[in-house]
Structure 1
Amino acid sequence: MAAAWLTTHTRIRPTTLRSYQIHVDRHLVPHLGRIRLNDLTGRHITAMIDTMAATVNRYGRLPTPATLHRIRATLRSALNAAIREGLLTDNPARHIEVPTPRRPHAQVWTTGRVHTWQETGQRPTVAVWTTDQTAAFLKHVADDRLAAMWWLIALRGLRRGEAAGLRWVDVDLDAGILTIEQQRVANGSTVAVAPPKTAASRRLIALDQHTVRQLREHQRRQRAEQRTASRAWTASGYVFVTDTGQPLHPDFLTRRFRHLVHDSGLPPVRLHDLRHGAASLAHCAGVDLKAVQAQLGHSSIVLTADTYTSVLTDLLVHAAEATARLVLAAAKRNPERRHHAP
């Protein structure tokens, strides 16, 4: 049933379809494929979840609650389709309990965490550089041909697919703005051009003067590469391309970033973690959370606050110091008095 259900999905994102396919092929069919649809019960599904929760993957790790939740959601969706087609009257996956997934909070690469990583190799699931570490990385990649892209992601928080899908027609360097109108989405070795992730992701992003200068220099370099490539050049119209004008595969950005981070000697972060850092940098610079939400293209300010405010170390320290100063100043204005019981 689940395999047949997949063939009906023609209007979903390629990455989502690929995720469904993995769930069906690796988990649902092996565990439930021999059970007739009408015989499927909640006990079968619970047994599958329990077995999966105790089985390590090819990397030697147990599946996370979020992974189990997504697989259960895929099965539930397929069984709902069976109900709509009259093949079932009830969804046995509806009441199955799965551990609630928790969004991992980003942690700053403090001196202590850097030492622990250097000694043990342990690192946070989601890690964010300090302002100084971000500046050190951007200085390290200043001569990289994609330096403007790293700067743009680190300061303005573009997603990987948004950076790969950015076109010159979406950029107005004179006005200092760009618009996110599309993204390039990887599906294995192929890449599809798709709308932004959500309606809120289709957004306008203001550019500071340094970023504008970075993009102008990048444009001059790209034109020089075009002259060198001559007839081999592909006029794709994208801002960030290969040295022959071909658009970039999003996975290449991830690999390139990983190599540059390793080469820099800085503690490791993922490419997507630069987006976390961009939010933190903006908020610490005095940008209110609502503006950060708009910059990142989040549909809810709750998501922005829950995901990123945990890394605002400098801002929280400043708030603590300011609160203490307020109380100490009040104490000086009001000398200590002895209070006597009546």
Structure 2
Amino acid sequence: MKSQGAIVKRCGCLNPATRRALGNGCPRLREPDHGSWYFHCSTRSLLGQAERVRRGGYASEAAARKARDEFLVLSRERQAGRSWTVDRWLRYWLSTRARIRPTTKMHYTRDVERFLIPHIGHLILGDLTSRQLNAAFTQIAATRNRSGQPQTPCTLQHVHTTLRAALNAAVREGLLVDNPARRVELPARERPLAQLWTEARVAEWEATGQRPSVAVWTPAQLAAFLDYVRDDNLFALWWLIALRGLRRGEAAGLRWTEIDLQARQLAVVRQRTTAGYDVHEGPPKSATSRRTIALDRHTVRIVRQHAERQRQQRAARTGAGKVCHDSGYVFTSPDGLPIHPGYLTQRLRLLVDRAGLPPIRLHDLRHGAATLAHAAGADLKTIQHQLGHATIRITADTYTTSLPAAQHKAAEATARLVLNASNPGTAMRHPAGRGNSAAWRPTAVEKTKPADDTRAARRRSKTKDRVAPKGGRRRARESG
């Protein structure tokens, strides 16, 4: 349904008594330079519903009529782009995101509600420009986060990623011809590298309370932690994350059917993640996260001990008349139900504090697993598969921190390579010739053998010239 609508002239004057807009009832509208022209018409939205469209700000009636006619000949998608605000499109886009992960939708919703709608929601989608977006991100960068600090480049990058995804969808739907978010300039995002808790960093943290954003323990510190939590019900979980690099959600979602102790391996086929406080169980983070992880014999013994402890606790709870569920999960609460992933984060923080060790996050144990595997001699491709990374670049740039022992070993090996290549008997010296100071020549000792070989070759050549074959001289005289 399309209606030619109407062309009207309006202004922003207010009634002095009621303070309401006079609209098209202003007596000054007859003046040529007072007010502006609008058009409004009826059309169908993307959802097939009838809706009223009004656009204004035109300098003349002819300009408003021309704009209306151009609008009515557009496709339904292009009409939506010219009439929908960014606010309306973002909310519509969020409502259609049915196949993304709950955590991803939560982050999208946060970015839309907190940053994008307040700063660009009032703009017309089809008129959006990169200049407007750059100005909006400058305003967003000046706001404060929950800690009272300016927004970080990481936050700006996340908001930009959400906006690009929303506008890419508008391009696919035909509302936009181009995505202006592609030309937005943002401050560089520095990817934090894992820092090792050396003695100097530990001393600085104890004195100032400042700590690296991403930090990993040394092997000695990790061993001290594992020794401290040996009697903890989740000891096997801390061990698997610290040595085999499981993600928090992968460990929380691990089931006994996915562990083969005879073959010494476990399969990662699901994860339990949180969106707010709600828990969502689904496939791993990516296709490469679905993987099989090898287990060493000591880890197998630890998992067997955990299974036996779990059976004993279940029997004791059932014998006491308490409810105990056989959920099939490897790591459970006392009632047998799977553990809330958020509890693991809180529990680790408490245990680390009690053990008197420098603080790390739960995800830092995963960083440490990559570091340990790298120091033990595993190649990056093996570590990439162990951690379930999509590309080896993530493994190399983020998840491997060389331990001091490995760095010293590499330094000694490099120096030894050069020292072994040098020959003390072949000393080098600068040539005495003028104009050739950049070249190097071997000493007289090195020249002896090649010179003797050359003189011997000349003698053999002269001998061959003097010794002619039989009849050779006779034929030469006859021919002469």
**What range is the shorter-chain TM-score in?**
over 0.9
Helix, strand or coil for the counterpart of 2:400?
Answer: helix
Counterparts of 1:251-330 in structure 2, within 5 Å, are 251-329=342-420
Aligned to 1:245: 336
Candidates 4, 11, 19, aligned match of 2:99 = 11
Candidates 137, 140, 143, aligned match of 2:228 = 140
Residue identity opposite 2:111 in structure 1: H
Aligned to 1:151: 239
Q: Which moved more, 1:23-32 or 1:96-105?
A: 96-105
2:194 paired with 1:116: no
How many Å apart are 1:308 and its aligned residue?
A: 2.8
Are the structure 2 counterparts of residues 225 and 339 from structure 1 closer, same or farther at C-alpha, using a change threshold of 3 Å? same
Candidates 431, 443, 462, aligned match of 1:341 = 431
Counterparts of 1:150-169 in structure 2, within 5 Å, are 150-169=238-257
CA deviation profile, 1:218-246 (whole Å, cap 9, x unmatched): 11111112112225111211000001111
Contact 1:108 1:313 in 2 (8 A): no
Are the structure 2 counterparts of residues 337 and 311 from structure 1 closer, same or farther at C-alpha, using a change threshold of 3 Å? closer
Candidates 190, 204, 211, aligned match of 1:102 = 190
Are the structure 2 counterparts of residues 293 and 54 from structure 1 closer, same or farther at C-alpha, using a change threshold of 3 Å? same
How many Å apart are 1:161 and its aligned residue?
A: 0.4
- For the aligned residue pairs, the C-alpha RMSD in angstroms reads 1.7
Q: Which moved more, 1:234-243 or 1:85-94?
A: 85-94
How many Å apart are 1:122 and its aligned residue?
A: 1.2
Q: Which moved more, 1:36-45 or 1:295-304?
A: 36-45
2:135 paired with 1:44: no
Q: Which moved more, 1:206-215 or 1:47-56?
A: 47-56
Q: Distance in 1 between matches of 2:139 and 2:275?
A: 29
Normalized against structure 2, the TM-score is what? 0.68
Q: Distance in 2 between matches of 1:59 and 1:122?
A: 15
How many Å apart are 1:329 and its aligned residue?
A: 4.8
2:147 paired with 1:59: yes
Q: Distance in 2 between matches of 1:146 and 1:260?
A: 11
Taking only the aligned residue pairs, the percentage that are identical comes to: 56
User: Which structure has the larger Rg?
Assistant: 2
How many pairs were matched up? 341
Residue identity opposite 1:300 in structure 2: T
Counterparts of 1:63-212 in structure 2, within 5 Å, are 63-212=151-300
Are the structure 2 counterparts of residues 339 and 147 from structure 1 closer, same or farther at C-alpha, using a change threshold of 3 Å? same
Are the structure 2 counterparts of residues 322 and 84 from structure 1 closer, same or farther at C-alpha, using a change threshold of 3 Å? closer
Q: Distance in 2 between matches of 1:90 and 1:339?
A: 66
Q: Distance in 2 between matches of 1:123 and 1:335?
A: 53
Q: Which moved more, 1:104-113 or 1:58-67?
A: 58-67
Q: Distance in 2 between matches of 1:112 and 1:59?
A: 27
Q: Distance in 1 between matches of 2:210 and 2:414?
A: 34
Contact 2:367 2:400 in 1 (8 A): no
- Structure 1: gaps spanning 5 or more residues: none
Residue identity opposite 1:98 in structure 2: L
2:317 paired with 1:229: yes
- Structure 2: gaps spanning 5 or more residues: 1-88, 433-480
Are the structure 2 counterparts of residues 207 and 24 from structure 1 closer, same or farther at C-alpha, using a change threshold of 3 Å? same
How many Å apart are 1:340 and its aligned residue?
A: 4.7
Are the structure 2 counterparts of residues 341 and 273 from structure 1 closer, same or farther at C-alpha, using a change threshold of 3 Å? same
Contact 1:153 1:163 in 2 (8 A): yes
Helix, strand or coil for the counterpart of 2:274?
Answer: strand
Q: Distance in 2 between matches of 1:37 and 1:300?
A: 36
Contact 2:375 2:402 in 1 (8 A): no
Q: Distance in 1 between matches of 2:126 and 2:102?
A: 30
How many Å apart are 1:335 and its aligned residue?
A: 5.7
